[in-house]
Amino acid sequence: MKILVTPRSFAKHDPKPLEMLLEKGFEIVQNPYQRPLVEEEITELIKDVDGVIIGVDPLTRNVLEKAENLKAISKYGVGVDNIDLDYAKERGIKISRTVGANFNAVADFTVCLMLAVARKINVIDRECRRNNWNKIMTMEIYGKTLGVVGTGNIGKGVIKRSKGFDMNILAYDVYPDEKFAKEYGVKYVSLEELYKNADVISLHVPLTEDTYKMIGKRELHMMKKNAILINTARGGLIDEEALYEALKENVIYGAGIDVFEHEPPTNKKLFELDNMVISSHNGASTYEAVDNMGLMAVENLVRDLFS
């Protein structure tokens, strides 16, 4: 059997996931470009494979139609918005995700972005390198109100960490976890109430038709002037043009963004903003998370190909 592996970090730290595939006798094709593949590139690589371990590369209908032998897709992560799920189901292609493998890494990184934006770490670092030792005024997050949109594993992880900062917690979820809320002092509210009252707003929902550009000009103008917006979930949840205008005009204090609708971002104006900390979809990039995702992705793929 032939396997395509697209994530660049796969088996880079621990070779065991790759060794597991080789032990099963798989012929392995790896991403030759060291970046996310575009549709034309992955179409060429996937056309005769039996299984794929996929990162953020596009598995559109056009791509999948060319993969005539494909039986299983193993997502290296949890978000599946880059996969045409309906067509895969129509074809009987099995799909798995590495649920729980990276939630600690992403929760850590979310809090990291909160602090980096609040304390303007990017600006301070840049100015120090220019030998500018003037003090830069910033904002604390201790004791402030955190609004978490989506209380799955990562959202809950962020809430747990925020308790160390004595933050008040507001949350929104289509399926509230009342037991968790009671244990950690979380108050479930409407999205509008959360946007209006939170000092820090952190997004942890999948990208769907309902959540696409869920944060636009209207929602940004609901927020406090000192609000910080964090997105470590999925690009496309935020209208990036509206975010640019809001940050440029100081409608909100700042933003920490790890994910963009197009990566790298096509809107280069975002790079000019001092009140935005930008990251390259790096939330899950820890040794521990990469090892966990690699092992789980291989286990899922092997199970689905031989079951």
Q: Catalytic: which of 41, 204, 219, 234? A: 234
The whole-number average pLDDT for the span 132-141 is 97
* Partners of 28 in the β-ladder: 3
Both 252 and 108 in one domain: the answer is yes
Which CA distances in Å does 80 have to 57, 97, 206? Answer: 10, 8, 8
- Check pLDDT > 90 for residue 307: no
Domain extent for 33: 2-101+286-306
**Is 263 labeled as catalytic in the residue annotation?**
yes
Which CA distances in Å does 199 have to 61, 146, 251? Answer: 41, 6, 13
pTM given for the model: 0.90
CA–CA dist 307, 301 (Å, integer): 10
Q: Catalytic: which of 281, 288, 299, 303? A: 281
The CA-to-CA distance between both ends of the chain, in Å, stands at: 14
pLDDT-derived band at 242 (thresholds 50, 70, 90) equals very high
Both 16 and 83 in one domain: the answer is yes
pLDDT-derived band at 21 (thresholds 50, 70, 90) equals very high
> CB neighbours of 213 closer than 8 A, spacing ≥ 6?
236, 237, 238, 239
What integer pLDDT is reported at residue 32 of this predicted model? Answer: 95
- pLDDT tens string 210-228: 999 999 999 999 999 999 9
Both 108 and 250 in one domain: the answer is yes
**Is 262 labeled as catalytic in the residue annotation?**
no
- Check pLDDT > 90 for residue 34: no
Q: Catalytic: which of 263, 288, 299, 303? A: 263
Both 293 and 239 in one domain: the answer is no
CATH number at residue 9: 3.40.50.720
**Is 299 labeled as catalytic in the residue annotation?**
no
